[in-house]
Structures are given as structure tokens and as C-alpha cells.
Amino acid sequence: MNDIGAWVWWLVGAAALGIPLVVTAMPEFGMLAVGAGAAAATAGLGADVVVQVLVFVAVSVALIAVVRPIANRHRSTRPQLATGVDALKGKQAVVLERVDGSGHGRIKLAGEIWSARALDTDRAYEPGQEVDVVEIEGATAIVI
């Protein structure tokens, strides 16, 4: 196998490893493809086959050892943006109809009218008062 053929075969290998990366979304295939690209560069510089294989293994293992834990750490972090009813928790609302612990009452929350009940069953809020939403249970806002 001559030097030109070696680097071409390494590039073919890199492309072949890129296909399962796209299909399976497993980043390890991409790291192996980068290792094959490094081996292709080594072959292009005229290095021996043993050196090419060592470069492929070293670069691939280094990427997997360094990049994979970082990727896993980023994958496990939760997004900071709350959506849906989670975004309503902590918001202020205005009482439209008397809200008490029995679940009878209405508030205006984020431009919409919601049924509401007081978190503290002994407490009542009168129309016009501002309350804080602490939880959403179904279509009812729990307020304090």
C-alpha cells in the first residue's frame, strides 16, 4: 500500500464512520472519524502504517476520554427556561373574585382568567389584591 493510497483509505474510513454518526447520533463515531482524519494526515506526511494506527488510536481514545464526559455533563443539565404551567409558578396575579381555601375564586394570571384557591385554607383574598402563584393543579392556581 503506497502513501497516497493509505491516506485515501483513512479518509474513506473517516467518511464511513461519519455515516453512523449521522444515523445514530452517537458522538463516539464522530470522535473515531476525527481519529481517522488524523491518521490520514499522518499518512499524507509519509508516516509508517504502525504510526498511522497509533495516531488513530491515540486521537480517538483522547477524544472519547475528554469530550464524552463533557458532553454527558451538558446533556444532563436541565434547561433554565421554564415553559407551560411551570412558567406560571412564582408569577403575580390579580384577584377577580374572592379566593379562599375552598377552591372558589378567580384570578387574572398572565392575561388569562384562572380558577384559584388559597394555599392556606384559613386565608381569603379579596378582588383587587395581588397574589403569588405557588403551584398549578390542573386548571386551578394555588396562591398566597
Residue-wise pLDDT for 33-88, tens only, equals 999 999 999 999 999 999 999 999 999 999 999 988 888 888 777 667 777 888 88
Report how far apart, in Å, the C-alpha atoms of 101 and of each of 113, 114, 126, 134 are. Answer: 18, 15, 13, 14
Q: pTM for the complete prediction?
A: 0.51
The residue among 31, 1, 29 whose CA lies nearest residue 16 is: 29
The 10s digit of each residue's pLDDT in 77-114 is 766 777 788 888 999 999 999 999 887 899 999 899 99
| Cα dihedral 45, 47, 52, 58 sign | negative
Looking at residue 64, what is its pLDDT?
92
Looking at residue 3, what is its pLDDT?
45
Q: Judge contact between 117 and 103, C-beta under 8 A.
A: yes
What number of residues does the chain have?
144
Phi, psi (deg, nearest 5) at residue 67: -75, -40
Looking at residue 4, what is its pLDDT?
64
Average pLDDT over residues 17-36: 89
Looking at residue 24, what is its pLDDT?
85
pLDDT at 1 over 60: no
Looking at residue 106, what is its pLDDT?
96
pLDDT at 9 over 90: yes
**How far apart are alpha carbons 144 and 134 in whole angstroms?**
7
| Residue 121 DSSP one-character state | T
Looking at residue 125, what is its pLDDT?
94
Looking at residue 82, what is its pLDDT?
73
pLDDT at 144 over 80: yes
